Amino acid sequence: MEDEYFGRKAGAKARGTSMRAFLPLIGFIFIGILGVFAFILSEPVNTLLSERMANYPYDQMETMRIVVGVVIFFVGLLFLGMLYAMFAPKPPKTVTERELEKEKRAKQQELLAKKRRKREIQKKMAQDAKARRGEK
């Protein structure tokens, strides 16, 4: 009853906003969160690296902190990209195996029909030629 009221058929799926429309916005939000995450983690990771590495450039601690933050950001970005590639909504297949088989069979039948027509035309032409010559 409600479906008829809103102008929809009873079995029709309700039209709504697709999640796909918001994926770019969600991506920008994730990039922002990842940037904040990299900024927060860059200091402890930089300190850890300075303690563990013998030839660490102590005179360039701020520059190294920025470099570490950028590396953390890009590693996180690669990880999120990999997750998106694994779980992204995939478009429906436009061509299926069944359709390809149908097309193949249709082409074969078309070729056979063409050969039959050609044989019939040749047979008819041969009969017409015999009729013109007076042979039966």
- Residue-wise pLDDT tens digits, 50-61: 889 888 888 888
Does residue 79 share a domain with residue 29?
yes
Q: Burial level of 69, CB count in 10 A (0-12/13-18/19+)?
A: buried
Does residue 97 share a domain with residue 73?
no
Give pLDDT tens digits for 58-117: 888 889 999 999 999 999 999 999 998 898 777 777 778 888 899 999 999 999 999 999
Does residue 80 share a domain with residue 121?
no
Q: 14: domain range?
A: 2-87
Q: How many domains does the chain have?
A: 2
Does residue 54 share a domain with residue 10?
yes
Does residue 69 share a domain with residue 19?
yes
Of 87, 107, 123, the residue that ends a domain is 87
Q: What is the pLDDT of residue 79?
A: 95
Does residue 55 share a domain with residue 122?
no
Q: What is the pLDDT of residue 135?
A: 64
Does residue 73 share a domain with residue 8?
yes
pLDDT of 123 > 70? The answer is: yes
* Global confidence as pTM: 0.55
Mean pLDDT of 43-55: 90
Does residue 123 share a domain with residue 62?
no
In this prediction, residue 1 has a pLDDT band, given cuts at 50, 70 and 90, of very low
pLDDT of 14 > 60? The answer is: no
Does residue 44 share a domain with residue 102?
no
Cα separation of 8 and 106, whole Å?
A: 37
Amino acid at 28: F
